Amino acid sequence: MSNELDTSHNSLRTLKNRVRELRTERGLSQGELAAAVDVSRQTINSIEQERYTPSLPLALSLARFFATTIEEMFDANH
């Protein structure tokens, strides 16, 4: 049972996302996006590298910034 939980947790940590795609389409640097959503550039980098799953408030801020939905930005079923 512990392994099942670990596997589920690992899949959440590697949540597929479109942050880099949306950021580069708009010609923004990681620093510019970070400033717009009030986080560090390193946080944006970690999200784009799929090493960090953002909190719900941060995911919502990113979705609002890009005028899209959380579901369109992040995919747990990859």
Q: 74 forms bridges with which residues in the sheet?
A: 17
Position 35, amino acid: A
Confidence (pLDDT) at 2: 41
Residue 31 near residue 41, CB atoms below 8 Å? yes
CA 30/CA 17 separation, integer angstroms: 15
Q: What is the pTM of this model?
A: 0.78
Residue 35: domain span: 2-75
Domain count, the chain: 1
CA angle 51, 56, 59 (to 5 degrees): 65
pLDDT tens across 2-13, in order?
444 344 344 445
| CATH assignment at residue 45 | 1.10.260.40
Q: 16 forms bridges with which residues in the sheet?
A: 75
